[in-house]
Amino acid sequence: MNASTNAPVKRVVLVASAGGHWIQLLRLKPAFEGHDLTYISTFHSAPPEIDGSRYVCVRDASMWDRWGLLMQAIQVLFALLRFRPDVVVTTGAAPGFFSIVFGRLMGKRTIWIDSIANVNQLSLAGTKAKRWASHWITQWPHLSGEDGPQYYGDVL
């Protein structure tokens, strides 16, 4: 049981690319206190901010590196199969997209939180995540809509 909420402890996988996506993900960290956390990112070694939680490094890739994206997708899939999360949460980009797709195919709850940097339109990965995410969230109220994404605030 989670001591702070008396709810069962969930296995949560938190995924983000290095940089701004990672910074935003870390700002959500207090929301997952008391749960069993695994982080996936493109850093070569576990960042100190994860406080001893499990960490999986995946290849860094972009949409111009198809081979790299395929390798990254396989690495994300194996990590999800290994840790069997109850929930997958991501702030993007490519490894987050793959985690949402594979998490949903595994029947898990998936949460996509689009980047705060996308002020005028949703990110490419965020737009594609709509089909796969259980919860599709934007950090800008003017980008929300009835069919999603939803706006609940930002993580600045």
CB 41 within 8 A of CB 66: no
Q: Evaluate whether residue 52 is within a structural domain.
A: yes
Q: Evaluate whether residue 98 is within a structural domain.
A: yes
Give the CATH number for residue 75.
3.40.50.2000
Average pLDDT estimate for 69-90: 98
pLDDT of residue 32: 96
Based on the structure, what is the number of domains in the chain? 1
CB 130 within 8 A of CB 114: no
What confidence tier does 4 reach under pLDDT thresholds 50, 70, 90?
Answer: low
Q: Evaluate whether residue 3 is within a structural domain.
A: no
**What DSSP string describes 12-47?**
EEEEE-TTHHHHHHHHTGGGGTTSEEEEEES-SS--
Q: Evaluate whether residue 84 is within a structural domain.
A: yes
Q: How confident is the model over 91-141, as pLDDT tens digits?
A: 999 999 999 999 999 999 999 998 776 677 787 788 889 999 999 999 889
Q: Evaluate whether residue 5 is within a structural domain.
A: no
CB 88 within 8 A of CB 112: no
- Sheet holding 36-41: strands in order across? 54-57, 36-41, 11-16, 87-92, 109-113, 135-138, 150-151
Q: Evaluate whether residue 43 is within a structural domain.
A: yes
Q: Evaluate whether residue 75 is within a structural domain.
A: yes
Q: Evaluate whether residue 97 is within a structural domain.
A: yes
- Between 57-71, 82-96, 107-121, the lowest mean confidence (pLDDT) is in 107-121
Structural domain including 135 reads: 11-151
